[in-house]
Each structure stands twice: as structure tokens, then as C-alpha cells.
Structure 1
Amino acid sequence: MWRFSAAGLPLNERPSSNVIRPSGCPGLLRVVQALDGGICRIKLDGGSIQADQADVVALVAERFAGGVIEATNRANLQIRGIGPGHDALIQPLLAAGLGPRKPSGDDVRNLMLSPAAGIDRQMLFDTRPLAEQILITLQTHERFPELSAKFAVQLDGGEALAMLEHHHDLWLSALVLDGEPWLAFGLAGSPLDKPAGRVPLAQGHALVVAVLELFLDLARPDQIRMRHLLAEIPNDEFMTRLACRVPLQACLDWQRDEPIDELHIGIHSQHDDRVYVGAAVPLGRLDAVMLRGAAQLARKKGDGSLRFTPWQSLLVPNVCVEDAEEVLARLQTLGLLVSVDQPLAQLIACTGSSGCGKALADTKADARQLAELLQRQGQTLKVHLSGCPRSCAAAHIAPVTLLAVAPGRYDLYFRDAALPGFGALQAHNLTIDALGQWLDAHPRSPLDA
């Protein structure tokens, strides 16, 4: 049985390097305290979890915590409200196969795939075999525990269902040239950016290792993200050094097709003759009954797995077409949101003041009030409610942000690529009801985007 230090490492294991980038982020082996108790983050390989594993998550959330299970914006799960005696919660999760290969590798298994990897109709190739290689190396490489828990890699297979607005320290994206598979790649950005170069698919793993090792060679301990390093070392210099470690080629005139994020809710065709069924988790929060119910559906009507998404939703993959409507209806009965036309399905809210000491407002409750208001007005808007400027609930800038300034009061921002932060300030110190009046007075506002 593993026994853990405050850093989240077993007492007999420490990273080999003296360069440690501490983190306040929760992990499976590091429970972080909040106002509503401890938080444990379970990192899922490619966002996927087996039904039996989901049952274990539901069980420990009920037995050792407050029963709240969160779907995160990087397709992981969190358990909130954990009481004292963390080992009692952690050990069943480890026994279910939800832990890292090595304890010190827990923080760094940050690899995002499309939730539809391997089944998407638009994918250029299946990224999962390469993802498995990368995940093993992230957890077992002797130097990679030096990476920050926020350091992240994205592997994109060209799927229609893909979150490409989240910036990653290294991204790789599929392309096919003369019938051969390649990977375009870039640093400190996303596949929507201009790539820095390309490598054959067979060199994808070597590229990831080379980039991460070079980052560790060059970055100071306080430079925890690739963008911090590139602010000091020119991108061209980094690429020149990288080319000495792995052969690179230029990637000219390539542009990633735009994804379709609405594909994470509803019934959608796979590349074969089956479908996947998606449903949004209301404001990112499940309870044990919801998770168990979804797991049971996956056993009976799917392939026995669930896939979580960066939109805080879940997919039941590999469903027969004739069963799809039944699966969708049962997900709705469980309390999940099964249509993009449901206002709550388009809202993002952080933990808020009920669980976070930094939040200035109860964002979850205010988001539900906003959803009811929008329902009455017949509107569906993509809005992010943030309790403080840290923007924990959204890894990208949403089209509209409500930033809390006091309990029940928010500043209203519209995303603007020319402006930093949340964008352009539109109104100050609005209540939710006042926002409704503002919407009535601005019927053709950018909120409709």
C-alpha cells in the first residue's frame, strides 16, 4: 500500500532531479483543501473510463466525500468534499487502475485527445496508439516529474469533435501528405495556429520526448510553461536546438479544419455503422447516481466505457443506431443535458463561493438563475461565470464572461482577440436580473455569437 507525503509522492519515492516545480493543483495522490473539503483529481487516459472504474469513483465519492463528482475542462474527473483519511479514498481508485504507472508520474499525465479519438468520422488516423506511448513515457521518464502539473500536450487526429481553443505547451495535429501520415506541431498554442514544423507519424513519440527534455534543459524552475520560456528564448532558437535532437521538416500552407463543438451533445455517427451519444453535465457536476447510471448504460448499450470531454460532458461510444434514442432519453432521466438548445448546457461556472475562498459570488447558483432567465427569454448563450479573475472553470476565453465583483454581482465582458484577459468590458456590477434587462436592451449584441 502506498503512503503519501504532502507533495503527493510515496514516502519512499522522490523525483531524481533537484529542480522541482511545486503545484497547488490537486491530483489523485495529492488532495488539496478547499472550503467544502478536499479535492482529488483523477486523470483519465484520453478522457476515457471503464464502467467498472466509474462505479468505483461513484462509490468512494459517496463513502469518503460529499458525493460531488466534477467533470473538468480537460476531460478529467474530480471528487470534492473529501474528509480526513485520504488513503481510504485513494486506495480503491488505485486498485481500479485509475492511478499512474509510477506515483511521481501522476502530475504529468496531461495529454488531451479528441473525445472521439478512434471513432470520429472526420479523423485522419487513430491517435490512441501514439497517445498510449506518450502517456507511458510521461509517467516513467526519470526527468518528467520535474514538469509542472500544468504543463500539457495535445494530440489531435483531425477529428470534427475537438477542443482546439485550449492552449497547450506542445500540440500535435494529424495531416496526410501523398497518402502518408504526418504530424504538424507547434509550441505554446493550439492546432488552429501556424505550425512550427512537421514530423512523420512514426517520429511523433520521439518529438514529444525531445521537446520536453529540451524544455527542462533550458527552463528555470519559475518558468513552468512553454510560453514562459519562449518569452525569454526566441522561438527560432528553440526550434534550431530541437532540430539537433529530432529531424524536422517545414510545414507550409497547412491549416487545421475548424471543429464542430456541438458534436459533444446528442446522437452522432461514428466512422463505422454505430453512433455515440453525448450529454452535458450540468455546470460540470455529477453525483454518484448520475455516474452509476451512465456507466450502466455504457455496459448495456455501448462498449462498457464512457468518455469525458473538455466541454464538461460525457459520451457513450459505440452504441447501435437502434438503441441511440433510448440511451439519450435515459441520460436525460439521469439529469444530464441532452440538447444544445438547453440554456444550462451552454453555461460554464467555477466552484464559486460555496466551495472556494477566492470566489466573490456563488457562481453555480447564479448560473442556474441565469439559465432560467434565458429559458424564459428563449435564448441560448455561451456564458462563463467566474468567481475571480483566475478563470479556473474555462481554459479558454469564452465568448461572454461574467466576472464576479461581489455576491450576486458581475462585470460583463465580450471576448475580443485584440484585448487581453476576458475581452471588452460592456457593463459593470450587474445582477443576474439586470443582465436580463441588459439583454432586452441589446437584442443584437455580440452575446448572440
Structure 2
Amino acid sequence: MLPSFHRTYKESRTVSATPVETSPRKRRKRGEGQWALGHREPLNKNEQGKKDDNPLNVRARIEGIYAHNGFDSIDPADLRGRFRWWGLYTQRRPGIAGGKTSTLEDEELDDRYFMMRVRMDGGQLSVAQLRAVAGISTDFARDTADVTDRQNVQYHWIRIEDVPEIWRRLEEVGLDTQEACGDCPRVILGSPVAGVADGEAIDPTEQIEEIYDHFVGDKSLSNLPRKFKSAISWLPDIPYECNDISLLGAHHPEHGPGFDLWVGGGLSTNPMFAQRLGVWVSQEDIAEVWVNVVRIFRDWGYRRLRTRARLKFLVKDWGAEKFREVLESEHYLGRELPRLEAPPVPEKLIDHIGVHKQADGNFYIGAAPVAGRVSGELLNKLADVAERHGSDRVRTTPMQKLLVLDVAPEKVDAVVADLEAVGLSANPSPWRRSTMACTGIEFCKLAIVDTKDRARDLVAELERRIPELDVPISVHLNGCPNACARTQTADIGLKGQLVLKDGEQVEGFQVHLGGGHASQASFGRKARGLKVASADLDDYVERLTRRYLDQRESGESFAKWVHRAEEGDLQ
């Protein structure tokens, strides 16, 4: 039986179209397509496509028609729209230069193969699940598999004919691709060490599973204005400022351990950090609060322009106080949440790399691939390592890393050695530890430049040139302005674009410097005209790093140095 709040939500869905009584606001000159104000007619083709047919229905056509009749049988509205709700995007056709990304039509950019994302809420995998993920990579995806900063695995080269069998294999081990993409509640970030971390007061894994079981695939929540990203963790090991909703562990002076609620975060071309609502959420209330924030987004989110359809724009316009009022109103929660003063800000986000003791006396070991690039073969070897040493739990992280849990003390050294042997370092250089990259032009239709190969080569070169670096400097490479690799919150954020070099347009990056999370939360500084050609990136990062090492004060981080440095020193 569903929880009472879920039944109440189902019964009140039509009520939510009634405007919530809030303080008067200045009326916009043009409507934003908000359902709660009665604006139900679609205002763009994306909204029309979702109205024409609930995107979740496309699975039946994939299994019953497209997988049998092939790529050419796919309805364009399904291909470039509804497929996303089942984790599928067409990938970029090989050989198309970055300069043509914004000039070609979709059908000219589309390849006849797909990218597919596997849903892994909380980054939790058993060895059997990991082997299934690895096997699909080797059998259907040309051995591709990237660990993303959304804690899931992404394939490429998927044929439509193979999708039903891939789904069968995933679902056989309790995984799927449902709502891994699309205008819906996407994968929920969670602590990769939930339930085993020393010092964790609450393990919210059960609540993440509750949300998944009750609301992922719920057709009343599958037509949101845009994507909806969630993060739930007791520990500061998730980018909590950058999600539509985040619940981060916090102690209440009267109620004890629970969660601090943040809403409205997001990056891309108009980055905004989430805002605290100043309320405390108990473990038992997580799912109820989560679904009502989603409902507010569904009912009140802007649907006229895709560029303004993320929750962050609504939160910016309303402010935290009004959002909290609406959340607590009778149409949503129907009660007040306990107020919470701002808890201490975490010093930094935890990446879990290395050997760490669990609460039960065993250890978990975090290892770093290069910029999230792995393969089915490597994942199968990782499963071998875990199984050989008695572990049945592997985790992915929002930093594109991999963890093995439940390692007995006497087996730690052997596991570290075996991970190193397969290409996963538990003691990586600061460069390898802190470099991330999005998919890039290799497969992404939005990208302008190469990222994965460039990140790999950059890490190798910097390890050779500056082996003495003694603190992490995060370098995030993104192939376009959309910030999938969180460029604005990196020490060195690199946003792909074409730049002029010797009078010719070449692949390059706009540079953002000094971004950060937690106690150093800020968006990277953009020095005037600071762009670098991809071919010159090694020299630039080396030059910048050496200036930091020469000029830093005792204990000064790279980000703090950047924000006080002379602009000339950043060139």
C-alpha cells in the first residue's frame, strides 16, 4: 500500500491547478505557461510533444515497432523527444566539426546510433549489477562506458534493434533506464558510502528507494517544464548547491539529525546556486517533501521558453520565503516544517578517494579512472577485484569515481594493488583525482570541442610536468556552454568553444577560474578575454599552476589565490 501522502497527492492532482494564495507580485508582460495559472496550451514544440503523448508510452513503440523495423521507422517526435524518458539520445554523427554544431539541423547531426544512460540512484551497484552493466557494454556498445557526474553509466553506439534486450538484461538485475533523461525526475544523487560511513547519523538510502519506487514512472510527474535533478545525502559528498532539490544532513537543536532543504540550483549558461529554505526535514518526511517540490515545479514552472524552464528561474523570481510558503500551503504539504538556522558550512566536498574506514571496521576504497572514461572490460575487471576479495558492493560517485565497499582490513593492500593493475588508482596524482570531463564532441550533438581525450592527455602531461603539486586543483572540461561537467564550480573550468589562433578558428576553451563548493562556493572568475586554444592547454595550466605555487600564502587554496590574483597572472 502506498504511503498516505502519496494517496493524498493522487487525489489532489486537479486541485493543484488552483493558484496558491501568496503575496502579490508584479504581473509579467507575457505569460510563462504556468499550469497553476490555467495556461495549459503548449507554447513550444517540446510542450506540444509531451501533450500529444506521455513520453513514457514510447517504450511500447520501441519494443513493438522500432526494434523490429529499424532506425528509419522511428517517428521524429519520438526520436528527438520522447526517447529521452527511457534514457536514449541520438549521438553525434562522426566527422562533423564543432563549428557546424549550431548550424546543422537535427537530422544532419543525428547518427543512427544512441547514447543510453543507466539509472543508478545513489550510485549503488551489486557485483551482479556491475557485471550486467559491463556485459551490455561489451555486447552492444562497442565497449564504451563512461561514469558520469550524475552517478550513472553512459553507453554509446547502441542500436535501436538491441534496446529491448538491453532493458531485459538490466531489469533482470534490478536496473533500468526509465527517466534517466527527459523533462522528469532524473537520477537521484546520493552518498556512495551511505550506510557504511563513519560518522553518518542518517542513511537515507531507504528514502531514495521509496522515491524511486513510488514516483519514477508516475505519469502525473513525467511532464515537468524541464529536467529535475535531486541530491540526498547526510554527508557533503554531493554537489548540493547545483541541484533542483538537495537534502543535506543537519542537526536540529530540538529534533535531532535530519536534513537541510535547498532548492533551485543549476548551472549551464545562467548558473545559480540553490537557496536554503531554512527548514528541517526529518528522515521520514523526505519523500513527501521531495514530491511536493516536484509538484510545485510541475504546476508553477515556466513552460514558454526552454531557456527559462528550469526550477532555478522560478526560485529566483519567488525567493526562498515565498517558495517555502507555497510548499507549506494546503495544496502541497499542508503544514509547516520546523525552522532551521543555517548549519555550519562544510569545508569542502568529499570525493572518497583512497582507503577509508567504515563504521563496521571494514574499509572502502575509492579509485579514480581518468575523467570518468572506463569500458565494459574495465568494469568487468572491477567486478572481479571486488568479488575476489569478498565484496558485493561497488559505488559510483558524482565526481566520476568508483568505490569498492566492505573490504576486510587484511585485504586492503591487495585490493589497492589489484585496482591499480586494472587501471584504477586509489592513490592518484592530484591531477587525475580532480579532473572531470563531459562527453564532448566525440558523441554529443551539442558539443563544440573534444573533452575526454583532451582531459586524458592533459592529465598525463601535467603529471609529467608538475609532479610536485601537493594539493588538488580541479580541472573540469566541458564541450559546450551547458556545464554538464560543472565548469563554473571548478578551480579551472574550461568551457568549449572555437577560438582564433593565427587567424584561424580552432578548438579551444573559455576559462573560468576559482569556482568551488561548500565553504568556497562561488562561480569561477572570468578574466577579461581569457580563452585558450586546446593545443595550448597544457602550457596554460602549467603556467597558471606554477604562478599559484610561487605566490600562494601558507595554506591558501588555488581558488582563494585566484580571487586575489592580478589579472595578468591569470593569463
RMSD (Å), alpha carbons: 3.5
1:381 aligns with 2:473: yes
Aligned position for 1:175: 250
1:228 aligns with 2:317: no
Following superposition, the deviation at residue 75 of structure 1 comes to 0.6
Q: Distance in 2 between matches of 1:101 and 1:31?
A: 13
Q: Distance in 2 between matches of 1:428 and 1:98?
A: 42
Following superposition, the deviation at residue 269 of structure 1 comes to 0.8
Aligned position for 1:299: 387
Following superposition, the deviation at residue 313 of structure 1 comes to 0.5
Q: Distance in 1 between matches of 2:479 and 2:179?
A: 35
The code of the aligned residue for 1:429 comes to V
Following superposition, the deviation at residue 234 of structure 1 comes to 4.3
Determine which of 248, 258, 282 is the counterpart of 1:200: 282
What does residue range 86-105 of structure 1 map to in structure 2 within 5 Å? 86-87=162-163, 88-99=165-176
Following superposition, the deviation at residue 145 of structure 1 comes to 1.0
Q: Distance in 1 between matches of 2:242 and 2:188?
A: 12
What does residue range 46-445 of structure 1 map to in structure 2 within 5 Å? 46-87=122-163, 88-99=165-176, 107-147=184-224, 150-157=227-234, 159=235, 162-177=237-252, 178=254, 180-189=256-265, 194-222=276-304, 224-244=309-329, 245-246=332-333, 247-258=335-346, 261=349, 263-375=351-463, 376-378=465-467, 379=469, 381-394=473-486, 397-406=489-498, 407=506, 409-415=508-514, 422-425=524-527, 427-430=530-533, 431-435=536-540, 436-440=542-546, 443-444=550-551
Shifted more, 145-154 versus 120-129: the winner is 145-154
* Secondary structure class of the residue paired with 2:360: coil
Shifted more, 60-69 versus 92-101: the winner is 92-101
- Cα 1:25–1:363, aligned 2, differ >3 Å: closer, same or farther? farther
Output the TM-score relative to the length of structure 2: 0.68
Aligned position for 1:17: none
* Secondary structure class of the residue paired with 1:425: coil
Q: Distance in 2 between matches of 1:33 and 1:71?
A: 17
* Secondary structure class of the residue paired with 2:512: strand
What are the Cα deviations for residues 46-105 of structure 1, in whole angstroms up to 9, with x where unaligned?
A: 111121121122112112122110101011111112235242433322333212689999
Aligned position for 2:116: 40
Q: Distance in 1 between matches of 2:357 and 2:274?
A: 24
Kept after mapping to 1: 8 A contact 2:225/2:301? no
Aligned residues: 437
Shifted more, 92-101 versus 203-212: the winner is 92-101
Following superposition, the deviation at residue 411 of structure 1 comes to 3.6
Following superposition, the deviation at residue 109 of structure 1 comes to 4.3
Q: Distance in 2 between matches of 1:385 and 1:212?
A: 30
Kept after mapping to 2: 8 A contact 1:369/1:432? no
Gapped runs of 5+ residues in structure 1?
14-19
Q: Distance in 1 between matches of 2:521 and 2:281?
A: 34
Kept after mapping to 2: 8 A contact 1:301/1:319? yes
Following superposition, the deviation at residue 164 of structure 1 comes to 3.1
* Secondary structure class of the residue paired with 1:122: coil
Q: Distance in 2 between matches of 1:388 and 1:109?
A: 21
Following superposition, the deviation at residue 139 of structure 1 comes to 1.4
* Secondary structure class of the residue paired with 2:185: coil
Q: Distance in 1 between matches of 2:182 and 2:543?
A: 50
Gapped runs of 5+ residues in structure 2?
1-52, 63-77, 95-112, 267-272, 499-505, 560-571
Determine which of 58, 61, 77 is the counterpart of 1:9: 58
Following superposition, the deviation at residue 284 of structure 1 comes to 0.7
Q: Distance in 2 between matches of 1:394 and 1:104?
A: 18
- Cα 1:5–1:249, aligned 2, differ >3 Å: closer, same or farther? closer
Following superposition, the deviation at residue 132 of structure 1 comes to 1.5
Following superposition, the deviation at residue 112 of structure 1 comes to 1.4
- Cα 1:209–1:361, aligned 2, differ >3 Å: closer, same or farther? closer
Q: Greater Rg, structure 1 or structure 2?
A: 2
- Cα 1:189–1:411, aligned 2, differ >3 Å: closer, same or farther? closer
Following superposition, the deviation at residue 115 of structure 1 comes to 1.0
Q: Distance in 2 between matches of 1:260 and 1:364?
A: 25
Kept after mapping to 2: 8 A contact 1:276/1:318? yes
User: Which has the larger helix fraction?
Assistant: 2
